[in-house]
Amino acid sequence: MRGGLSKEELMEDLARRVAECRRCPLFKHRRRVVVGEGNLNALVMFVGEAPGYYEDLKGRPFVGAAGRVLDRLLEEMGLRRREVYIGNVIKCRPPGNRDPREEEIEACSPYLDEQLEIIKPRVIVPLGRFSTRYVMTKFGLRPAPISRIHGRPYEASSPYGSVIVFPFYHPAVALYRKVMEEALFEDARRLRAVLSERGYI
């Protein structure tokens, strides 16, 4: 690791810098930054878009209603939170839970890049269209509407070896449309098959 530091030390340093960050105006509105949480040696990393109301209150990712859906999806995959890492592209809540803006993604995404370098996941699951577009582009894959590419594994290369990018709809969609909930859980079953095939679960 960089300078002989452990993964824990690198993540603590990153968290300190995120807490002090003023790269975009979102710092003016936040209560707490949401760096991410989970296993720093995780084989599977989930990447959401931005914190919501409850995440901003607690400083943890996916702790509201969408988080409860994610917990159910993890169970469907045969995974538990302590086995994976969960983060976001944006570390501060956009006002009113609006979509993240391009300049905010540009300002904040280097922190996600660092997290990926620290954790070195073998499977990256972007949750939602903004996260999917960023992750696909980062790994040299062609972005497309999430309605076309969700639930499919995409092989990519990274500095630490091959990775699978497996886009999902954002868990929040299950709160509003039953048909989307069914799609999410079907994708979870597909991902479980991929993880099992690779010996990751």
End-to-end CA distance of the chain: 26
pLDDT, one tens digit per residue, over 14-30 is 999 999 999 999 999 99
C-alpha to C-alpha distance for 133 and 146, rounded to whole angstroms: 8
CB 130 within 8 A of CB 109: no
Indicate the pairing of strand 37-38 with strand 85-88: antiparallel
The DSSP code for 99 is: P
**In order along the chain (201 residues), what is the average pLDDT of each group of 10 residues?**
88 98 96 98 98 97 97 97 98 96 98 98 98 98 96 96 97 92 97 96 91
pTM (predicted TM-score): 0.96
